[in-house]
Chains A and B, each alone.
Chain A
Amino acid sequence: MDQEALLAGKATHQQPEKRSFLIISSILASQALEKLAYYGLAPNMILYLTGEYGMATTEAAKIILLWSAATNFFPLVGAFVADSYTGRFPLIGFGSSTSLLGMLLLWLATIIQPECDKSTEVCQPTTPLQLTLLYSFFTLTSIGAGGVRSSCLAFAADQLQLNTTSRTATSALETLFNWYYCSIMLAYFLSQSFLVFIQTKYGWQIGFGVSVVAMALSLKCEPGLVSGLLQVLVAAFRNRHVDLSSEEHIISYYHETGSSCSIPSQKLRYLNKACATSDPKRDLTLEGKSRSPWKLCRVQQVEDLKSLVNVLPICSTGIILSLVTASQASFIVLQASAMDRRTFIQGFEIPPGSYSVFMITSFVLFLVIYEIVVVPLVSWIIRKPFRLGVMVRMGVGISVSVLCISSLATVEYVRRKRARDEGGTMLSAMWLSPYMILGGISEAFLAIAQNEFLYSELPKSMSSVATTLSGLGLAASSIVSSWIITVVDIATCRSWITEDIDEGHLDYYYWLVAALSLLNVLYFVWCSKGYVSTRHTAMAIRVSLLLLVFLSSAVVSFSLYEDQVGLMDWHQRYIGKVKHAVFHTQKAGRKRVIVSTEENVVASLDLRHGEMFWRHVLGTNDAIDGVDIALGKYVITLSSQGSMLRAWNLPDGQMVWETSLHSAQSSKSLLSVPINLKVDKDYPILAFGGGYLHAVSAVDGEVLWKKDFTAEGFEVQRVLQPPESSIIYVLGFLHSSEAVVYQIDSKTGEVVAQKSMVFPGGFSGAISSVSSDKVVVLDSTRSILVTIGFLDGDINFQKTPISDLVKNSGNAEILSPLLSNMLAVKVNKRTIFVRVGGEGKLEVVDSLSDETAMSDSLPVADDQVAFASAHHEGSKIHLMVKLVDDLDTVLLRESIEMDQHRGRVHKVFINNYIKTDRSNGFRALIVMEDHSLLLLQQGAIVWSREEGLASVTDVTTAELPVEKDGVSVAKVEHTLVDWLKGHMLKLKGSLLLASLEDVAAIQEMRMKSSGRSKLTRDHNGFRKLFIALTRAGKLFALHTGDGRIVWSMLLNSPTKSEACERPSGINLYQWQVPHHHAMDENPSVLVVGRCGSDSSAPGVLSFVDVYTGKEISSSDIGHSVVRVMPLPFTDSTEQRLHLIADTEGHVHLYPKTSEALSIFQREFQNVYWYTVEGDDGIIRGHGMKSSCAGETADEYCFTTKELWTVVFPSESEKIISTLTRKPNEVVHTQAKVSTDQDLLYKYVSRNLLFVATVSPKGAGEIGSVTPEESALVVYLIDTITGRILHRLSHQGCQGPVHAVFSENWVVYHYFNLRAHKYEVTVVEIYDQSRAENKNVWKLVLGKHNLTAPISSYSRPEMFTKSQSYFFAQSVKTIAVTSTAKGITSKQLLIGTIGDQILALDKRFVDPRRTLNPSQAEKEEGIIPLTDSLPIIPQSYITHSLKVEGLRGIVTAPAKLESTTHVFAYGVDLFYTRLAPSKTYDSLTDDFSYALLLITIVALVAAIYITWVISEKKELSEKWR
């Protein structure tokens, strides 16, 4: 249906409310009457023209189509006029009177119409007067319609929109819309049925009279939207010389203050010129308004135009549809009049003009049925919320239109054939109804969806245009239709469309339109593909194509919600613990902060939400030393110990330049970006590193000059630049005992002056600069503060012993914050602030507790400098901003409630902003002990980022709790009443009637029904928790469904005071995994930590409940931790027994219970373990000996004895990698059956150790040795006996070796120096001793004894098979999929150098591969041997994502045998579910239940039908 109102979303004209109702009703009435008149006339007009005026059919059709086009087009013009110039009310008045005049003319025309002899159909030629009257009728009614239609609804809406933001107004608006469409529909219905039937065309004038009188007065005028769009085009053209690509920081975009968008988007960039100004002073008035709207537009305007341009292609697909449904009206009338129109009511014939009523009825009925029956029913059947997406509906509508016009063409073909062949008998006009019904359905699909699409895609201010756009489509379709008719008429020499439709070939014409519709479907598919922002596009394409293929009118297809489209993977991006932060808040535009982190990430964060604008992960060896902003548009980073200087574009993070600085030796590095140093239009950056001082141009990264300090061994400590001077002071130490100051000309790099002075005691390194000519440093004893002044190149020392400042001082430490004229010193676990006086005199001004974190000083207004300090008190953080000069002046004092599990504050960065009352406001970026990053502002946490997850060190999995009765989250839809209620809500939602609470309820329902994020165990084991231990010592539980953090826990939260102050987590172990009889217990994990970095430091154990995230208990174990060995035994509460070996060769049993002890003592003799001493090249095997003796020992401590030793010759071999099988891996079959019935028994042993050694020379980097010097040897060692089972050497190869050990095979990756390629080798071990048992049938029938005891002490008879392949990529880590029962075939998960994960089928690394596999081998699935392993782009399981800084991949089986969880961690986290052999044991998520249902129903129906038919046949056979 057409829409022609301009609903201006910005109309805020104030109107007295009481008048509104009257006005609105009169407006609606006049609109309805206008419609009544128009649609009453339109259908019969073709009959009138052909019959009364004797026009040819083509001519008449053309006139009518043009008329209809004009009528639909003029509203747009009207809208423009009304919005821009006249206001709406005058236009309505004008429109109404014009229409009235037009109607009067028509009435006049009917009086003086040409004489026609009805029987012979010969007419008098029309006089010019008659034609003039007729045509002026058409013109006037069109113009009138333009006036009335454009403004009516918007005018009515104006009356209502007292306040656009209030809820009541919005709902009233909805009601208005509903009534509007109701009245239109009623008018349409009446005109199509009643009016046409009784052929009274003269009654409407009265209605117009009434409407004219009834209207109240209201005038308003504001710059219109349409003119705004034109302005953009004009302005963009006029500003065509503006170059957008360069100098982006200079260009500012003109936007209204307070407007949500201030920077135009990047698509259709050309139009951005319309709002770009390089000289705001010239283009803007004092109030900030544009001087000329035709020269400089608002960003909003530009974006409006862009969105309009974007939706136009999709919109245009509606044209052909209208061509099918609306524009055939005139031919339908002709057709219907040539058909049998009798009805079941005697003597009543449906008038031919009224047949369109069926289309409207079908339209309305279908909508009702779709909403009330189809949607709830399908949802109920598939047990999922069912809804067709916008694009899908549009696609369906367009596809159905093909069917629709085809049916019409078929009917016409039959009708014509019958009319010609049989003469008298007429086809029933009811045959037109398929066309009508399908037309209604396709309209219903498209019209609603298109409006929804336009409303959702266009900005709010464009909603008026949105309503008119579909009307425009109708107008366009009329023009296109008229054009097509002309073309067809000419091309077919008037043989298709003729006066007598029996003579012509209307059916051909219809087929032509059908073909066009078909093309339209393809066009739509193409368009929607191009329209990227719509998520349902793919679905729409599929549905359209499907419909195209099946050409079926039964539209049964459904779309998925986007949360189901995301399927099962998630990806989280982090940056790591922040080291430096630089704020960028001065410029208009987005406030951002540039951070560099310990994970070598430089990132730009949105200060408002904490989102990442961009991020770059530098290499692992590319640690960032400094970050700063230069020129206000580049982010400068210095990394790799001062040898890499890079500039990144601030807005988008693209690298602008990169300069590799010369570096001779490793030294401290320093980055200094002078603020106002300018050298010949260039802004140098000073970077020191590797003994060189470089001045680098900020613009292009060229090295301006460099100063070599390598010879002296000079270490730069500070670069100071006095303002208004081209001389820079470079202060440094020589051999840490001599202070040297160079004065360097910043232009040339020449040393102007050099002064040095020896300090007898020597310096300790840490330095704090307090002013432009003074620094303070500690001497080597850390007890004397030395103030170094270097005014005018003279150096003087002033010593102040710390004991003078603080009593009983110990060693001091200068803290890093840079404060002006002050320094912070840490003494005696307190922080003291020392002010540096004018003559280098030091005095203590304040002292704070140790736990205080401080920021650098920040200049605030009036030459004052402030700094922030943060410290803990209870669960609160106190943040204070003080002036440096006056510590009593506290600019800001805030206390913020802080989660206990974030630990202490580590770092504070502050930034100030000017509040509206001209006072200073501060925002503080704080880094917590758990590495999380928080932004504090106005006493609240604005946002937080869990950056601890960027440094995951160990991961384990845990089950979720079992779903119990009463805690079911999927309770909705359990009963029919609930189900109905839910659907009523959804219906309300889709009819836009839902209140805010309802919307919330719907959202909640959707959340609940999307089962993937529930916190309970599911049947397939897809929902699990990943417990991740981070380097900060924090445990996170991540949900596999959506990756959210279920709970997190810092192992040493500040509330606890324990002997061990900063334990670092080492590893995670499954402590208690309850199943069977211990279901009531919650599972728990064991975190083993260490009190210091030293391996002999005492260990800490912590037991954490997995469900709640609470620490059950923790204990200092009093001995060191070398190795933790989970034993395969559990006690009665399902606690797993663990052995912990310490440095003294003792092992300790946990849990320390007598039950555990008794279990352990039973297996005492069978417990073995081994240690690898990598540096010495020794592997030792140990066995249990006896209980510990000695006073400290308890009964859970045991001594061990050494059983065996493998010593690798240190001159030729160095251990670089060891690996064992995962202890919990499941092996399903112990034998491999080849096609020739041959059996190969896998040598499956838990006690195998894979060791890789290289020659010591080859232990370095790849390429550092010649092939002759390096050899790689791999061993397989039995860890019980120390027997070397297999040895394989690769000459000319070197590490690093990445290996994976599973079942009976090892796959390892190394570098082949000879071939200059990476290689992958697979070694499979088979058991020879059982090789005689070759009877497959015995194996199959279970007769064969596979459980015969295997002892490591018996001499193993085994043989190995191995094969090597080239592999094109370098590898970071390798893992293997693991499934519940080990039946599913395996895939190797290779973390590539590009931080992606490649899934490689194990079949590619099968040593049985041969060059030409026999037929039997092929059947077995053996792939022909190739020299390199294929890298298939589709098998990247990370798709297009990158797991930056990938460190490890963890796999865990789901309950479903086919599926495995894959979790990869690095700086990013990535999770997905894999099914290496496809999901052979379950239906996929996108399994079409509807299709299954339909198939079953169809089958049952087919069976029933055939049964009935066969019964009938049989019976008739019997009774023949």
Chain B
Amino acid sequence: MVTKAEETELNQLENQVENGGGGVWEYLCLVRKLKVRRSELVLKHGLSILNDPGKRSSLGPDEWTLYEQVAIAAMDCQSLGAAQNCIKVLQKKFPESKRVGKLEALLLEAKGMWEEAEKAYSILLEDNPLDQVIHKRKVAMAKAQGKPSSAIEHLNKYLEVFMADHDAWRELAEIYVSLQMYKQAAFCYEELILSQPTLPLYHLAYAEVLYTIGGQENLIAARKYYASTIDLTGGKSTRALFGICLCGSAIAQLSKGRNKEDKDMAAPELQSLAATALEKEYKQKAPAKLNLLSSALRSLKL
């Protein structure tokens, strides 16, 4: 996560660098440290350093890190020539290095030579089967090729080993959602909630998947998770408030004409509370759209 202070520092440096005020190296370091994506700037300024032998040699051993950074940035910017040059230098310096091997594979990937890249990754994996980055690259490659099923396959394989990698779980969940495989997605979200129970986003996403699946039980569960989202965010989540309203109306529709117990399930008070909260929020922040809201809520028969 990039904190506010870091962000201001980054922006300041960026501004300074853009206007030729020096501090290029510090900027590049910060970019690397914060893992932000400023590929064009990195490429531009990184190359300016690398092309100047004086500046380059003054970096000492960090020179090679810069080569790597620039190479990745260059690939990002599709200036494959520059990337290739950088990698060549690294290759010459560290002939046996896996790290450079990765870069080479990345370059292949960037060039769109999927099979070669695949092959290169497999070779690297043979040496180090537990390299997370390579696994993830494979997933990314599959995605880039438009093969979500193979991406899912790779991800599953990966998650069998690295079960605690929530980013991977989330990615998998999103792929499932994109393939409308909601049940699988719901499983992924469950895993995520288990690993990070205080993060409202997962609750919300899970609630939405449940809502999308539909069915009374799912809707009730969805409404619960919406509620927990509201709970976790302190009532700030507008989407969750809407979700409760929608869930309430959906449950009410499903339980129409059912017995009293079922009607209780609709919990109209909750619905109306959410609606009130929504109205109040709209009144505060967007009074112009209050009418629109009231009409929408009314359409939900509230």
Partner-B contacts on A (CB < 8 A): 1511, 1514-1516, 1518-1520
A1515 touches B64 (CB 8 A): yes
Q: CA separation between A1516 and B95, bound complex, in Å?
A: 11
B97 touches A1520 (CB 8 A): yes
Report A-chain residues with C-beta under 8 Å of the C-beta of B64: 1515, 1518-1519
B55 interface residue per 8 A CB criterion:
no
* CB nearest to B100 among chain A residues: A1519
Q: CA separation between A1520 and B97, bound complex, in Å?
A: 5
Q: CA separation between A1514 and B64, bound complex, in Å?
A: 12
B61 touches A1520 (CB 8 A): no
Can you report 9 A-B residue pairs in the complex whose CB atoms are below 8 A from each other? Answer: A1511-B61, A1515-B61, A1516-B94, A1518-B65, A1519-B64, A1519-B93, A1519-B94, A1519-B100, A1520-B97
Most buried by B among A1516, A1519, A1520: A1519
B147 interface residue per 8 A CB criterion:
no
Known: A1518-B64, A1519-B99. 13 other contacts (CB 8 A): A1511-B60, A1511-B61, A1514-B61, A1516-B94, A1518-B61, A1518-B99, A1519-B90, A1519-B93, A1519-B94, A1519-B97, A1519-B100, A1520-B97, A1520-B98
Nearest-Cβ distance from residue A535 to partner chain B, whole angstroms: 55
Report B-chain residues with C-beta under 8 Å of the C-beta of A1514: 61
* CB nearest to B94 among chain A residues: A1519
Q: CA separation between A797 and B287, bound complex, in Å?
A: 168
* CB nearest to B96 among chain A residues: A1520
* CB nearest to A1515 among chain B residues: B61
* CB nearest to B99 among chain A residues: A1519
CB-based closest 4 A-B pairs:
A1519-B94, A1519-B97, A1515-B61, A1519-B99
* CB nearest to B128 among chain A residues: A1520
Report B-chain residues with C-beta under 8 Å of the C-beta of A1511: 60-61
Nearest-Cβ distance from residue A358 to partner chain B, whole angstroms: 39
* CB under 8 Å from chain A, chain B span 50-107: 60-61, 64-65, 90, 93-94, 97-100
Report A-chain residues with C-beta under 8 Å of the C-beta of B60: 1511
Report B-chain residues with C-beta under 8 Å of the C-beta of A1516: 94
Report A-chain residues with C-beta under 8 Å of the C-beta of B100: 1519
Q: CA separation between A1515 and B65, bound complex, in Å?
A: 10
Q: CA separation between A53 and B150, bound complex, in Å?
A: 86
- Secondary structure call for the A interface: helix
Nearest-Cβ distance from residue B84 to partner chain A, whole angstroms: 18
Q: CA separation between A1515 and B94, bound complex, in Å?
A: 10
* CB nearest to B61 among chain A residues: A1515
Q: CA separation between A1109 and B98, bound complex, in Å?
A: 88
Q: CA separation between A948 and B94, bound complex, in Å?
A: 87
Report A-chain residues with C-beta under 8 Å of the C-beta of B94: 1516, 1519
Report A-chain residues with C-beta under 8 Å of the C-beta of B98: 1520
Q: CA separation between A458 and B214, bound complex, in Å?
A: 121
Q: CA separation between A1519 and B65, bound complex, in Å?
A: 9
Nearest-Cβ distance from residue A1512 to partner chain B, whole angstroms: 8
Nearest-Cβ distance from residue B91 to partner chain A, whole angstroms: 11
Q: CA separation between A1516 and B93, bound complex, in Å?
A: 10
* CB nearest to A1512 among chain B residues: B61
Report B-chain residues with C-beta under 8 Å of the C-beta of A1519: 64, 90, 93-94, 97, 99-100
Q: CA separation between A169 and B65, bound complex, in Å?
A: 76
Report B-chain residues with C-beta under 8 Å of the C-beta of A1520: 97-99
Report B-chain residues with C-beta under 8 Å of the C-beta of A1515: 61, 64
Report A-chain residues with C-beta under 8 Å of the C-beta of B90: 1519
Q: CA separation between A1520 and B98, bound complex, in Å?
A: 6
Report B-chain residues with C-beta under 8 Å of the C-beta of A1518: 61, 64-65, 99
Q: CA separation between A246 and B90, bound complex, in Å?
A: 96
Nearest-Cβ distance from residue B268 to partner chain A, whole angstroms: 63
Nearest-Cβ distance from residue B133 to partner chain A, whole angstroms: 14
Q: CA separation between A1511 and B62, bound complex, in Å?
A: 11
* CB nearest to A1516 among chain B residues: B94
Q: CA separation between A137 and B43, bound complex, in Å?
A: 84
Nearest-Cβ distance from residue A1508 to partner chain B, whole angstroms: 11
* CB nearest to B65 among chain A residues: A1518
Report A-chain residues with C-beta under 8 Å of the C-beta of B97: 1519-1520
Nearest-Cβ distance from residue A1516 to partner chain B, whole angstroms: 7
Report A-chain residues with C-beta under 8 Å of the C-beta of B65: 1518
Q: CA separation between A1511 and B60, bound complex, in Å?
A: 10
Q: CA separation between A1518 and B62, bound complex, in Å?
A: 11
Q: CA separation between A1518 and B90, bound complex, in Å?
A: 12
Report A-chain residues with C-beta under 8 Å of the C-beta of B61: 1511, 1514-1515, 1518
Nearest-Cβ distance from residue A1498 to partner chain B, whole angstroms: 25
Q: CA separation between A1514 and B65, bound complex, in Å?
A: 13
Q: CA separation between A1518 and B61, bound complex, in Å?
A: 10
Nearest-Cβ distance from residue A1509 to partner chain B, whole angstroms: 13
Nearest-Cβ distance from residue B131 to partner chain A, whole angstroms: 12
Q: CA separation between A1516 and B98, bound complex, in Å?
A: 11
Q: CA separation between A1002 and B18, bound complex, in Å?
A: 70
Report A-chain residues with C-beta under 8 Å of the C-beta of B99: 1518-1520
* CB nearest to B60 among chain A residues: A1511
Nearest-Cβ distance from residue A1497 to partner chain B, whole angstroms: 24
Nearest-Cβ distance from residue A1118 to partner chain B, whole angstroms: 89
Q: CA separation between A1518 and B99, bound complex, in Å?
A: 8
Q: CA separation between A1520 and B93, bound complex, in Å?
A: 11
Nearest-Cβ distance from residue B44 to partner chain A, whole angstroms: 25
Q: CA separation between A1511 and B59, bound complex, in Å?
A: 13
Nearest-Cβ distance from residue B71 to partner chain A, whole angstroms: 13
* CB under 8 Å from chain A, chain B span 17-69: 60-61, 64-65
Q: CA separation between A1515 and B99, bound complex, in Å?
A: 12
* CB nearest to A1514 among chain B residues: B61
Q: CA separation between A158 and B119, bound complex, in Å?
A: 93
Report A-chain residues with C-beta under 8 Å of the C-beta of B93: 1519
Q: CA separation between A1514 and B97, bound complex, in Å?
A: 13
Q: CA separation between A1368 and B94, bound complex, in Å?
A: 81
Q: CA separation between A1516 and B90, bound complex, in Å?
A: 12
Nearest-Cβ distance from residue A449 to partner chain B, whole angstroms: 49
Nearest-Cβ distance from residue A581 to partner chain B, whole angstroms: 87
Nearest-Cβ distance from residue B29 to partner chain A, whole angstroms: 15
Nearest-Cβ distance from residue B103 to partner chain A, whole angstroms: 10
Q: CA separation between A1518 and B98, bound complex, in Å?
A: 10
Q: CA separation between A338 and B94, bound complex, in Å?
A: 40
Map CB proximity to A onto B121-140 as digits: 1 under 8 Å, 0 otherwise: 00000000000000000000
Nearest-Cβ distance from residue B270 to partner chain A, whole angstroms: 56
Q: CA separation between A1511 and B63, bound complex, in Å?
A: 13
* CB nearest to B63 among chain A residues: A1515
Nearest-Cβ distance from residue A1507 to partner chain B, whole angstroms: 12
* CB under 8 Å from chain A, chain B span 256-274: none
* CB under 8 Å from chain A, chain B span 282-298: none
Nearest-Cβ distance from residue A1513 to partner chain B, whole angstroms: 11
Nearest-Cβ distance from residue B249 to partner chain A, whole angstroms: 58
Nearest-Cβ distance from residue B95 to partner chain A, whole angstroms: 10
Nearest-Cβ distance from residue A177 to partner chain B, whole angstroms: 55
Q: CA separation between A950 and B102, bound complex, in Å?
A: 95
Q: CA separation between A1511 and B90, bound complex, in Å?
A: 17
Q: CA separation between A1036 and B60, bound complex, in Å?
A: 71
* CB nearest to B62 among chain A residues: A1515
Nearest-Cβ distance from residue B87 to partner chain A, whole angstroms: 12
Nearest-Cβ distance from residue B82 to partner chain A, whole angstroms: 20
Q: CA separation between A1251 and B162, bound complex, in Å?
A: 97
Nearest-Cβ distance from residue B72 to partner chain A, whole angstroms: 15
* CB nearest to B98 among chain A residues: A1520
Nearest-Cβ distance from residue A1059 to partner chain B, whole angstroms: 91
Nearest-Cβ distance from residue B93 to partner chain A, whole angstroms: 8
Nearest-Cβ distance from residue A1510 to partner chain B, whole angstroms: 11
Q: CA separation between A1514 and B62, bound complex, in Å?
A: 11
Q: CA separation between A1293 and B97, bound complex, in Å?
A: 94
Most buried by A among B60, B90, B94, B98: B94
Q: CA separation between A82 and B61, bound complex, in Å?
A: 76
Nearest-Cβ distance from residue B15 to partner chain A, whole angstroms: 31
Q: CA separation between A1519 and B93, bound complex, in Å?
A: 10
Q: CA separation between A1515 and B59, bound complex, in Å?
A: 13
Nearest-Cβ distance from residue B207 to partner chain A, whole angstroms: 44
